[in-house]
Structure 1
């Protein structure tokens, strides 16, 4: 029971709950979680932006489970949901969050597309880290972050019979919290305060062995 409470504390901190606004572009960051692609397609079809960019090559997890890039797989999901191919751009070389942002920024600039506000779509527990990275690496745009709309129990349930296990996801969450603390010093993200309760939960999860994705 303690584990569930600790993971919930991390989840509540890492999720930012931004309100969606009309934007110039939706950027969907690649990962193993195809629900992220569906969320990006949903908000495009709801009319929040006229353009959607899928970003992602092969990541640490997906290089072992897929034979196509994250961006290509996500774009196919979006097109199957009704997103027109003419409204999609693909960036399929990046392998981490920083590259997602920088490579999409280059793609947008090279195509001379004017962008002032972006909706970034990622996994729920990646909202805060995504926001921090955008604010550091693409300073001149406004960014709203969003993710699949579900609570922790439902989110983790999706991994009980899939290619990635629930424990793997918790390991990644712990690693992401560590990066929120470490990465500002490396110039990868802006600084964000981490409440004591959140850091204490992180330390307890590390003690419990959730160390697989630590730097």
Structure 2
């Protein structure tokens, strides 16, 4: 089981959170990460949230929300539009939501978010990333590359019934987590 534990500890990251300058939400079509960001905002952990994303470069368009489409039932052209709607419906004022709607993959989420914060003159020293729990390591890799002077805290959200404790018990979990593990290795050259 040591190999499973090593993979789990590498892929799944969770940090103790503290007051930050901003909360990042990398693009996706599931509402849970933006819902968590809204909760953290309302708890006073950050004054701003930056959801990022156009749509996946694999699909080439924004698909319908993966869950809770009865609540989040708007017409969305981008991940940003969807995530902004989730935030607003969870009581985050639009004045606290920054916009990034060009990114099509994780590195671009980080890179284009940095362009937004730089353009606004924001000095990011502490930030939180609300992401899928199994996507945490790759998010951290890219946001650390782009925000080199910032303390980055990961706030993972378990979705798709895939957790640190159970991922190896289903084919979907194995495929998802080992896919992330593989991509971390393949994409390491971009963060060095």
TM range (shorter): 0.7 to 0.9
The Cα of 1:13 is off from its aligned counterpart by: 3.5
* Structure 1 range deviating more: 53-62 or 118-127: 53-62
Please tell me whether residue 63 in structure 1 is matched to residue 61 in structure 2: yes
The Cα of 1:90 is off from its aligned counterpart by: 1.3
Q: CA offsets per residue over residues 18-40 of structure 1, 9 Å max, x none? A: 01110001111111222111111
Of Structure 1 and Structure 2, the greater helix share is in 1
Structure 1 ranges of 4+ moved more than 6 A: 6-9
Query: Which of 11, 26, 29 is 1:29 aligned to?
Result: 26
Q: Secondary structure at the match of 1:65?
A: coil
Q: Secondary structure at the match of 2:187?
A: helix
Q: CA offsets per residue over residues 33-72 of structure 1, 9 Å max, x none? A: 2211111111111110001111011113583623421111
Contact 1:39–1:147 at 8 Å: present in 2 too?
Answer: no
TM-score by length of 2: 0.79
> CA separation in 2, counterparts of 1:29 and 1:121?
8
Query: Which of 90, 102, 106 is 2:99 aligned to?
Result: 90
Distance 1:157 1:176, change over 3 A: closer
Aligned residues: 173
What pairs with 1:155-170 in structure 2 (closer than 5 Å)?
Answer: 155-157=159-161, 170=174
The Cα of 1:77 is off from its aligned counterpart by: 0.7
Larger Cα-atom Rg = 1
The Cα of 1:169 is off from its aligned counterpart by: 6.2
> CA separation in 1, counterparts of 2:103 and 2:129?
15
TM-score by length of 1: 0.71
> CA separation in 2, counterparts of 1:142 and 1:8?
26
Distance 1:84 1:127, change over 3 A: same
Structure 2: tracts of 5 or more residues without a match = 65-75, 163-169
Contact 1:7–1:170 at 8 Å: present in 2 too?
Answer: no
Q: Secondary structure at the match of 2:186?
A: helix
